[in-house]
Amino acid sequence: MTKRKVFILIASVFFIYSCGTYRINKTSDFKKTTNLDSLNGNYFSKPFPLKKNYNKDFFSLINKSNTQSDFFNLEFIDKNNLKISYDEIVENKFVSKEIILKGKRKKKFFEVYFSKKQFFIPILYGNFDIDRLRIGFDKTGKILIRNFSDGSGNILFIGGGFSGESKSIFESVKKSSTIIPFSKDGKWGFKKNNDTIIKPIYDFVRAFDENIARVCKNNKWGLVDIKGNYLTEIIYDNINPIKTNNNDSLKYSFVYLNGKKGIINSNGKITVPVIYDEIRDNGEFLEIKKGTKIGYCTYENVIIPSIYDKLSYYIFHQYNYAEAERNNMIYYVDKEGYEYQTKPNPLYSKIGFLENGQPKYIPDLESKRKIGLEEQFQNIN
């Protein structure tokens, strides 16, 4: 093979795998159809569960991840415009909304680009910003959506960024045999195959998620099971499921009451008390704030009560402690919820602006004590 042919081959391969919209993406799982108008219909917004795949809900796929709606309706206005309509619960009221997606019909799917920016010089340079959906049927007749994203670039053979393709499947409400919400005389309940499962006694309901549903009465929310049994009292201002990537059998939700925030599991048990002003993910743990005080929790329980003015990440891996400050004193706390007084580290040194990589303090192991949840309501000296 001549040098010229080798160069052309290398350039072609590099072009295919570096140029965003020209990359080879899977389309074989789309079902051939003669009429994409048959996509018109009403669907669950929660994806059908797939093994070995992180499933995105429908509204996340169209960049509306905070949308509070369990269903969406597809309707082609014309060949290249797809209307998405849905009813969203906003401040305990239904608000009808719609979005128009402009795209192109292909043989097996409707293709939409939310972003399509790319500049590419083979071998030398590439810069891509691609966000694309392909919507069609899978082989079983369910809605299949493939989302391709590429935010990458390269200079010569040095590249960075991300790219990937996800697969999500959505079930038709009409063809479903699951329990679905229905309304009668302004109230909501649940039915299955036209048989009433839970009587329409609620002001609002959300679709069942693994045998748990959120229900609303008099502007307050609670949880019920598929038999209508209450898993919680209907007392919360709001309940928002927490999306996690793990395989835990129990799922968790943020609950809100009188301006405070906590966590409950799918059995209705409060795992993190509803007393915090903020709960947010910091990576390994959730940071909890009560007033100006900080602590850590997981979905299952509180690890470090919010009694500290400052609380660092667990950066000292050789000790597995986080540095905490309370009443102008430096402490260490561990991942089991114990607090330690500190003392100077004899191995620590600093020359100019440089440190030797050792922490300034080490824990006094004899001072170890369990931090009590009740301390969040006290002034600790």
pLDDT band at 16 (very low <50, low <70, confident <90, very high): very low
Q: Which pLDDT score, from 0 to 100, does residue 4 have? A: 58
Burial 118-150 (b: 16+ CB within 10 A, else e): bebeeeeebbbbbbbbbbbbbeeebbbbbbbbb
Q: Are residues 81 and 39 in the same domain?
A: yes
- Whether 33 has a pLDDT exceeding 70, the answer reads yes
Q: Are residues 184 and 236 in the same domain?
A: yes
CA-derived radius of gyration, the chain: 27
Q: Residue 11 falls within a domain, yes or no?
A: no
The DSSP line for 272-329 is: EEEEESEEEE-SSSEEEEETTEEEEE-SS-EEEEEEESEE--S-BTTTTEEEEEETTE
pLDDT tens digit string along 43-71? 999 988 776 556 788 999 999 988 989 99
The CATH number of the domain where 138 resides is what? 2.40.128
Q: Which pLDDT score, from 0 to 100, does residue 52 have? A: 59
- Of the candidate ranges 105-109, 165-169, 283-287, the one whose mean pLDDT is the lowest: 283-287
Instruction: Give the domain extent around 78.
Output: 24-113+130-151+162-170
pLDDT band at 250 (very low <50, low <70, confident <90, very high): low
Q: Are residues 105 and 137 in the same domain?
A: yes
Q: Are residues 352 and 227 in the same domain?
A: no
pLDDT tens digit string along 132-172? 999 999 988 899 999 999 888 878 767 777 788 889 999 99
Q: Which pLDDT score, from 0 to 100, does residue 19 have? A: 45
Q: Residue 73 falls within a domain, yes or no?
A: yes
The arithmetic mean of pLDDT across residues 308-317, rounded, is 77
Q: Are residues 334 and 199 in the same domain?
A: no
Q: Are residues 258 and 301 in the same domain?
A: no
Residue 90 vs residue 54, higher pLDDT:
90
Q: Residue 140 falls within a domain, yes or no?
A: yes
Q: Tell the residue number behind the tokens 């795949």, with chain if given.
A: 53
Q: Are residues 217 and 84 in the same domain?
A: no
Nearest CA to 345 among 335, 355, 334? Answer: 355
Q: Which pLDDT score, from 0 to 100, does residue 195 have? A: 92
Q: Are residues 294 and 236 in the same domain?
A: no
Q: Residue 75 falls within a domain, yes or no?
A: yes
The DSSP line for 60-99 is: HHTT-TT---SEEEEEEEETTEEEEEEEEESSSSEEEEEE
Q: Are residues 62 and 137 in the same domain?
A: yes
Q: Are residues 246 and 381 in the same domain?
A: no
Q: Residue 157 falls within a domain, yes or no?
A: no
- Cα(278)–Cα(62) distance, integer angstroms: 28
Sheet with 187-192, strands from edge to edge, namely 180-184, 187-192, 195-202
Q: Residue 216 falls within a domain, yes or no?
A: yes
pLDDT band at 299 (very low <50, low <70, confident <90, very high): very high
Range from 152-156, 182-186, 317-321 that averages highest in pLDDT: 182-186
Q: Which residues pair with 95 in a beta bridge?
A: 88
Does residue 143 contact residue 137 with C-beta atoms inside 8 Å? yes
Q: Out of 272, 288, 307, pick the residue that ends a domain.
A: 272
Q: Residue 240 falls within a domain, yes or no?
A: yes
229's tokens = 């049994």
pLDDT mean across residues, the chain: 86
Range from 218-232, 244-258, 337-351 that averages highest in pLDDT: 218-232
Q: Are residues 317 and 239 in the same domain?
A: no
Q: Residue 209 falls within a domain, yes or no?
A: yes
Q: How many domains does the chain have?
A: 3
pLDDT tens digit string along 261-278? 999 999 999 999 999 999
- Cα(137)–Cα(177) distance, integer angstroms: 19
Nearest CA to 332 among 356, 315, 354? Answer: 315
Question: pTM, whole model, 2 decimals?
Answer: 0.80
Q: Are residues 256 and 286 in the same domain?
A: no
